[in-house]
Amino acid sequence: MKDLLSILTQLGTGFLTTIILFCLTLIFSIPLGLLVAKGRMSKNIVIRSVVRFYISIMRGTPLMLQLLLVYFGPFYLFGIKLRDLGIGKIDYRDIAAVIGFSINYAAYFGEIFRSGIQSMPKGQYEAAAVLGFSKSQTYFRIILPQVIKRVLPAVTNEVITLVKDTSLAYSIAVVEMFTVAKQISAAQTSVLALFVAGAFYYLFNFIVEIIMNGIEKKMSYYQ
């Protein structure tokens, strides 16, 4: 019992890091994903090709490798001391984790948003055009709200995957929940901490599901 309590308090701090990493990744990757979708559909072949290549790399290589590259890259490629890349008290490894997750998830979100945008009937654009809406009004008032509803189930999938993927940050030694769980587990030579961590992840995703279902329900007032 005492063991469990100490595990819970130790995992608690790691869990906080996990939540922060999760939230920051969403905050950056969703708007970035919209840009990726736009770039992927660009009429400019250079922009389109570059974005396509970026998506291909992000989806085609392991996220763990990408994290390692973002973290160690500045040193091995440019000889920059990683210590110097931190912002104030924040260690660069935490920043690298947020960057790595964000650019990876932006690629996936980008493709989801693109599928949503391209599934919109042409008639919606035409109706908006003849009513005199500008391009940005059409996008933000007519298209995007409907796209959000369409992509919500796919986005929920990604968000749930992200909760679990945050554990990959242990590869660059970010002290998030999974890293802590592994340390405790090694010190106590017991898997209890890993089980508790698993329960935390599940609980987290359970809440994510409830929230996403709530949003979906809120948007079900129309078809």
Partner 1 sequence: MSVLEMKDIHKSFGSLEVLKGIDLNVDKGEVVAIIGPSGGGKTTLLRCATTLETIDKGQIKIGDDELVTTVNDKAVYCSKKMLQDFRSKFGLVFQGFNLFPHFSVRRNITEALIHVHKKPAAEADKICDNLLSKMGMLDKADAYPCNLSGGQQQRVGIARALATNPEIIFFDEPTSALDPELTAGILKVIRELAEEKMTMVIVTHEMSFARDVADRIVFMEGGVIVEQGPAKELINNPKNDRTKEFLAGY
| Cα angle 24-185-10, degrees, rounded to a multiple of 5 | 50
Contacts of 153-158 with CB under 8 Å at 24 or more apart are 153/216, 154/112, 154/115, 154/116, 155/109, 155/112, 155/212, 156/208, 156/209, 156/212, 156/216, 158/105, 158/108, 158/109, 158/112
Structure tokens at 34: 């919209």
Looking at the Cβ atoms of 7 and 142, the one nearer to partner 1 is 142
What would the x/- binding string for partner 1 be over residues 138 to 177, using CB under 8 A?
---xx--xx--x----------------------------
Task: Choose which of 13, 118, 119, 137 interacts with partner 1 (CB under 8 A).
Answer: 137
- Please choose, out of 18-26, 135-143, 161-169, 200-208, the segment that lies near partner 1 by the rule CB under 8 A: 135-143
DSSP 219: G
Binding to partner 1, residues 64-123 (CB under 8 A): 121, 123
Helices (H), the chain: 2-40, 45-60, 63-78, 92-118, 122-130, 135-137, 144-165, 177-188, 192-218
Residue closer to partner 1 by CB (options 93, 149) is 149
How many CB atoms are closer than 10 A to CB 193?
25
Tell which one of 6, 134, 188, 190 touches partner 1 (CB under 8 A): 134
43 near partner 1, judged by CB under 8 A: no
**Is 45 or 130 the residue whose CB approaches partner 1 more closely?**
130
Residue 125 C-alpha from the chain's centroid: 30
Query: Could you tell me which stretch among 73-81, 91-99, 137-145, 152-160 binds partner 1 (CB under 8 A)?
Result: 137-145
Shortest reach from residue 121's CB to partner 1, in Å:
8
24-51 per-residue burial string, b: 16 or more CB within 10 A, e: under 16: bbbebbbebbbebbbbbeeeeeeeeeeb
Binds partner 1 (CB under 8 A): choice among 27, 129, 203, 207: 129
Nearer to partner 1, 78 or 222 (CB): 222
Minimum CB separation from partner 1 for residue 149, in Å? 7
Residues that bind partner 1 (CB under 8 A): 121, 123-124, 126-134, 137, 141-142, 145-146, 149, 221-223
